[in-house]
A and B are shown apart, each in its own frame.
Chain A
Amino acid sequence: MHIPDGFIAPQMYLPLYGLAAGLWAYGARRVGRDLDEASLPWLASLTAASFALSFVALPLPGGTSAHVTGVGLLAVLFGPWHAFMAASMVFVIQALLFGDGGVTTLPLNALAMGFVGAISAYGVYRVTPERWRVIGVFLAGWIGLFLPALLIALALGAQPLIAHDAAGVPLYFPFGFAITLPALLIPHALLGIGEGALSVLGWRLVERLRVRYRND
């Protein structure tokens, strides 16, 4: 579920924008350096894939489903910086073109799901030994969902602390850590299992497919 604008105080989202802007600038250079002149269309296509991935339903038992983030899969396949930049562009497109999710929550989403999600997923994938690659991809999918949920729970839970009136009544998101942490972490720990499984399946397919595009 997207957090709409109006729940995050400017005291938090403005500094986060500053932090995100720095990482975007650095990420743009990283992506450009790794990929020469093809980086522009390449990142565009990755963004499109990552946008469309968010429409793939993550099957849950009982015929229900949730949405995939795919950040872990993208980080494993294309590296953390590409995944971060593509995910950030997806948030821009969703917020400013389709009105899904807010512009003030954008830096939080980009930093949590894009940056931390991609870096942690890639890190987990890299530290797993070669012969346990499948487990590495699974864990990458899981942590790429779980760790961002933790950060978002912390950011939401901090709202009553950073923005309240003289009487201590919250002005933005009203619940503290005691509520946000269990409310987000328990479901995401479980959803992460599905995301991890899907990451493994998607990773296997792509490893087989992409040999074709390395040729010229």
Chain B
Amino acid sequence: MNDRLLDFSIKYGFLILLFGLIIFFSLTTNGFASARSAAFVLQSVALTGILALGVTCTLVVDGFDLSIGAVATSALMLSAYSMVILEHSALVAVLLCLSMGALVGLINGLLIVRFRVPDLLATLGMMFLLIGLQRIPTQGNSIATGMSLGNGVVAEGTFSKAFLWIGRHRFDLVIERLLPMPVVIFLLIAVFIWLFLGFTRHGRMMYAIGSNERAAGLVGVQVNNYKIAAYMISGVTASIGGILLAARLGRGDIASGNNLLLDSVAAALIGFAVLGAARPNAFGTAIGALFVGILLQGMTMMNAPYYTQDFVKGAVLVSALVFTFYLSSRRTGAGR
């Protein structure tokens, strides 16, 4: 009986908590329970969610990507630079950002598998490199239309309508102009990564590498290629996050992206606890991001100051980790 209760709580505890939170905020705050609230909670989650899905792929192969926040803000700066200063079209800007993300992922992967640099260190180095690099072209200034480029020349380019559409368009769903484009992209990426990791041969290979790299290598899995692929997925998803950020802000804002990194890693780690998976998984990551988003938006509506939000975020993460590591180990212990 006790074991079954434990099993049940490990499996569904987090989802029940999520449900409870929604009911709590619906009762205590004004206007939380509405389609519009759902849309902006999802919107606030979309960005960290997309980054978190990328980092999930690197966690699956037992790696880690600390550079995602910096990749996202680099993509933000690159898209602004491309459109405002070089006056490229939206398509060129998007392609540039995606290839930048893939290239960074490739370099990360090569550093890790070819040069044997530990993943945390390689991606940490990449993070600093990118934070610096993105500021070099503009000498540390943000990019906006009308900025002076020296010699009396003024940047004439603008963020094109098509580019802003990616971040700002909202689809009609029940209510007019309800569902923001970034949420749609987030859901698409979530479904894609979920299918890829859970239901394809490649995804299973990646899990195999994550649980025992040597064993996977011995049975003929191309460990290095899969690892590089994981970092490239992470780089590309992070650059998608940066594109959405640029389209929402409408300017190239300098930012380190460290908060994006921390929030998305938290979401991915909370995801371990969802459905008692005790391992990185796309569904859990999406739920983890949603959990943090609902909590933060609900607390903001209740006028809670920002430091209590950090506190709560930390508390959720710690309890999720306890769920994952302690309770799951007891479960396997009990089964023995």
| A-B interaction | no
Interface residues of A (CB under 8 A from B): none
